[in-house]
Amino acid sequence: MEPLLRIRDLHRTYGDLRALEALDFELHRSEVLGLLGPNGAGKSTTMRIISGALAPSAGAVEIDGIDLLRHPIAAKARLGYLPETPPLYPDLTVDEYLDYAARLRGLRGAALGRARARARERCGLTHSGRRLIANLSKGYKQRVGIAQAIIHDPKVVILDEPTGGLDPNQIQEIRTLIRALGEERGVLLSTHILPEVEMLCGRALILHQGRLVHEQPLDAAPPGNRLALRLGQPPDPTELAGIAGVTRVEAGDGKHLVLHLSDGTDPSGIADHCVAKGWRLLEMSPVGDRLEQLFSRITLGESAP
Ligand code: ADP
């Protein structure tokens, strides 16, 4: 399958500083791809180049098979971009703003009306068209930001820290929206929240000092092969080791015991067993955030930007 976004040997320097070096990656349809890296790694530079706001020093960007540098207008027509700070005009209503965004994308007349209705519906703004942007909550403002990014129905959507500064409910809503967008398009998602990447992305790229240092598939990850347990009345560890699916028991941090599970073991069976035995199950959680560990290992020792 042809990728929706193809980045080839991308370089960008700022004076003597090499902000990006030999970056290569692809984004496919129905994929949410995470872009990770510590501050200064080159994420914004990458997103700004793909959005056409910044020229690369060398390399190529293809959006849906169209070369961004040779055919910028056609390529950008297939791309939607939500920068970290959404480009909103507080004095406009949601509809006025979406109409403005649609006109910038060359939409007029009936097509514009349809685009506005579709973007509003997609982003849960059906009843908010006449509201002034200034009066919207931060979560709704972010929905409007995403609505402008998809107003022209692009195949590729770039979202830069889309859940930054939102409260937990708003975060959930925006994540649901991102997941839905990713079903029908290609989404490049930059975020500092590693669990968010694990939740939403099928794959993550880790940038460090301008280079792609790791590419991690997340779909195939075993669903928590280690479990931390806190029991009010823990039995002898050999009893825990005897539970079906448990391959090993570790002492953990004193409060918790860590169970190693064989692939495919359902943690709820372990919970049932503990309850049935009267061991007073107080807490049970998967151990270790693999991506977090990977991230710190790869980017450790980074100098402050
Ligand atoms: P990230 O988004 O991952 O934090 P950036 O792409 O913003 O990283 O920055 C990558 C590197 O390029 C950093 O060292 C940053 O200081 C530098 N940089 C970014 N923009 C400019 C600029 N306009 N002029 C000079 N240096 C820049």
pLDDT in tens, 177-206: 999 999 989 999 998 888 889 889 999 999
Give the residue from 30, 25, 29, 77 showing the smallest Cα distance to 51. Answer: 77
The pLDDT of residue 267: 86
- Residue ranges, comma separated, of all CATH 3.40.50.300 domains in the chain are 5-217
Q: Place 223 in a pLDDT band, splitting at 50, 70 and 90.
A: very low
Distance 19 CA to ligand 1 centre (A): 6
CA of 49 relative to ligand 1 center, distance in Å? 12
Is the pLDDT at 297 greater than 80? The verdict is: no
Region(s) of the chain under CATH 3.30.70.100? 226-290
Query: Mean per-residue pLDDT for 245-256?
Result: 83
Give whole-number Cα distances, 297 to 30, 148, 226, in Å.
29, 37, 20
Asked if 166 contacts 139 with a C-beta cutoff of 8 angstroms, the reply is yes
State yes or no: pLDDT of 158 exceeds 60: yes
Q: How confident is the model at residue 301 (pLDDT cuts 50, 70, 90)?
A: low
Nearest CA to ligand 1 atom 22: 14
Residue nearest to atom 24 of ligand 1 (CA): 14
Q: What's the Cα-to-Cα distance from 231 to each of 78, 245, 255, 268, 274, rounded to whole Å? A: 54, 18, 8, 15, 8
With a Cβ cut-off of 6 Å, ligand 1 is lined by: 14, 17, 19, 37, 39-45, 305
- Name the band, by pLDDT with cuts 50, 70 and 90, for residue 281: very high
Per-residue model confidence (pLDDT) at position 288: 62
Q: Ligand 1: distance of its center to the CA of 209 in Å?
A: 10
Ligand 1 pocket: which of 13, 17, 18, 302 to mutate (most atoms within 8 A of CB): 17
What is the per-residue pLDDT for 289?
63
Q: In the CATH scheme, what architecture does the domain 226-290 have?
A: 2-Layer Sandwich (3.30)
- Gap from CA of 159 to ligand 1 centroid (Å): 18
CB atoms within 10 A of CB 168: 8
Q: How far apart are CA 121 and CA 117, in angstroms?
A: 6
Share of the chain above pLDDT 70, in %: 95
Residue 274: the pLDDT is 93
Cα of 44 vs centre of ligand 1, distance in Å, is 7
Check: CB of residue 54 under 8 Å from CB of residue 2.
no
284-295 per-position pLDDT tens digit: 987 766 777 778
Half-sphere exposure of 45 (CA within 13 A, CB side): 23
CA-to-CA distance for 272 and 254, rounded, in angstroms? 23
What is the average pLDDT across 89-118?
A: 97
Inform me whether the pLDDT recorded for 300 exceeds 80.
no
Average of per-residue pLDDT across 207-225: 76
Cα 144 to the center of its chain, rounded Å: 18
Whether the predicted pLDDT of 303 surpasses 50: no
Q: Whose CA is nearest to atom 21 of ligand 1?
A: 14
How much is the average pLDDT of 55-80? 97
Q: For domain 5-217, give the CATH number.
A: 3.40.50.300
Model confidence at 240: pLDDT above 80: yes
- Which one-letter amino acid corresponds to residue 242? G
89 Cα–ligand 1 center, Å: 26
pLDDT at position 261? 87
Q: Quote the mean pLDDT of the chain.
A: 90
| Highest averaged pLDDT of the listed ranges 33-42, 91-100, 160-169 | 91-100
Expressed in angstroms and rounded, the spacing between residue 77 Cα and the centre of ligand 1 is 26
Give residue 40 CA to ligand 1 midpoint distance, Å: 5
Name the residue with the closest Cα to ligand 1, atom 20.
Answer: 45
Q: Is the pLDDT of residue 76 over 60?
A: yes
Check residue 302 and give its pLDDT.
42
With the most atoms of ligand 1 within 8 angstroms of its CB, the residue from 14, 57, 190 to mutate is 14
Average pLDDT over residues 50-75: 96
Starting at the earlier edge strand, list the strands of the sheet with 281-286. Answer: 246-250, 257-261, 226-231, 281-286
Query: How does strand 79-82 pair with strand 5-14?
Result: unpaired
